[in-house]
A and B are shown apart, each in its own frame.
Chain A
Amino acid sequence: MITKFITSVSTTFSPFNARSGKTARSFLALLPPNARQNMKIDVKMLPRAAPSTSSNSAKPEPAAVLLLGFKDGKQMSLDLEKLKIKDVQEEVDRHSRLLGRQEELTGN
């Protein structure tokens, strides 16, 4: 994954959710060791939701989201309930490649 052009990462997830929690954690593990010097990272972890019964079905678990900011100012909001880590990587790489090409053309 190209992390060079990401400037901010903000995510909210529950680690006990087998689907979205895993994707979010995998994404955070893909960031390089010096990520916190180059980008703003804000991670919020939710407590484990009570098992869904008829009584508390009115209060659903808040959706897990991943908000990314890029160097050109683009904001990317990814829904972790639907996307897997491969899809997230694809989305990030598609925009990062574009930025990389622009940078090459301007000669920086």
Chain B
Amino acid sequence: MPPRLRLRPEHLRTRIPQQRPSHQQCRYASLATATTPAPPIEQTIHSSPLIARYPPTQPPSYKPPEFRKSQLHRQYASLLRSSPLMLLFQHNNLRSVEWVGIRRELAAALRKVDESLAADGRPDYFGDGVKLQIIQKGIFPSALKVVEFYHPEQQPQAPVHHPTDPATATSATIPDTLAASDDTRLTHGLSRTAHEVAEANRRNKKLKHGLEPLLSGPLVLVTFPTVSPRHLKAVFEILAPNKEFPAPKRKANPGYHEPAVQSGLQKLMMLGARVEGKVFDMEGARWVGSIEGGLDGLRAQLVAMLQGVGAGITNTLESAGKSLYFTMEGRRSILEDEQKAQAGEAPKEG
């Protein structure tokens, strides 16, 4: 039987210490004499700045951050802050094939809008930024409250003893920067202060954001990164067609008229929209979609209207002066005529 420990015979020999080369010895000696450098003068005057014990992108959260709820809350808050235009739909038991078909048709329609915008030479094509997303109705209202009612930049800053300031000769304890969620200096959406604001709002019935009656049942959001009536129009034509926004014809888009897509669209109900923080119903949302040319078009309309008003005002003001002028002129001519007549009569009498 071979030995279990496989040792080569040279390993079994006792090792004889060898004489080290002389140049290595010299190097050791030079290292031994080296001194540590003196600390910089700043370090001896000021205390070292505090180090946050968490990454700057992950401040400690009030609720456990590993829960899916917390992450969804954060995601919804960021979605609400980054999308000025969103449509709210109810979906009644759609099948996955129907979802696939609807998403495909929506993406195709938005791509077409983007292509036409690019052909016009306009840079605002962002059709791939329009997202169709099913939301959890428990988390979304809370995130909406945080976004609507929690404004940390308006709250007064907590007084901070800056330890690096040499003027503060104090031995007071410095608030610790460990990952403690009850630190009042944390102002992100998952912080304790944000949570308390949302909770207080739940108890306060007067403060409303307007979407409360819609936030129940199975909901899906269509979010837009900017307010673009052209993209909105394309979305309406696919998801909620009516007379104003006709659905694509069967010849132009046969995929849209597949039974899976059509049966899915019948089960989607448009409830409302949120545009720049304001709540619109279906009619209001359709009105936003019907604005020709988007914001630029609205500005052009406003300018034209203001120009018209200006012309009207100058006409009105001028007319007062003109009428006065004509009256005075008329009166002057009458008086002159009378004077002439009198002058004509006087010599005859005299």
Chain A contacts to B: CB under 8 angstroms: 15-18, 21-22, 25-26, 28-29, 31-33, 35-36, 41, 43, 45, 47-48
Contacts and interface: CB of A to CB of B under 8 A. Distances in A.
Given A15-B271, A15-B272, A36-B263, A29 B213 contact: no
Given A15-B272, A36-B267, A48-B281, A31 B213 contact: no
A19 to B, nearest CB: 8
A43 B92 CA distance: 12
Given A22-B213, A26-B217, A16 B272 contact: yes
Contacts of B212: 18
A47 B269 CA distance: 13
Contact of A25 (B216, B281, B283): B216
B266 interface: yes
Given A43-B269, A47-B281, A33 B213 contact: no
Interface residues of B, number: 22
Interface of B: 90, 92-95, 212-214, 216-218, 263, 266-267, 269-272, 281-284
Contacts of A43: 269
A41 B266 CA distance: 10
A45 B266 contact: no
A18 B284 CA distance: 19
Contacts of A48: 272, 281, 284
Contacts of B263: 36
B214 A29 contact: no
B260 to A, nearest CB: 11
Contacts of B216: 22, 25-26
Nearest to B214: A15
- When A and B form their complex, which 7 residue pairs have the shortest distance between CB atoms, in order from nearest? A48-B281, A18-B213, A33-B93, A47-B283, A15-B271, A25-B217, A47-B281
Contacts of B90: 25, 28-29
Contact of B213 (A15, A28, A35): A15
B93 A16 contact: no
B281 A29 contact: no
A66 B282 CA distance: 21
B337 to A, nearest CB: 59
8 contacts: A16-B272, A22-B217, A28-B269, A29-B92, A35-B93, A41-B266, A45-B271, A45-B282
A22 B215 CA distance: 9
Contacts of B271: 15, 25, 45
B266 A36 contact: yes
A28 B281 contact: no
Nearest to B94: A33
Contact of B269 (A17, A26, A36, A45): A45
Nearest to A33: B93
Contacts of A41: 266
A48 B216 CA distance: 17
B93 A21 contact: no
Contacts of B267: 33, 36
A79 B102 CA distance: 34
Contact of A32 (B93, B218, B269, B284): B93
Contacts of B266: 36, 41
Contacts of B283: 47
Looking at B216, B263, B272, which has the most chain A CB atoms within 10 Å of its CB?
B216
Contact of B93 (A15, A18, A29): A29
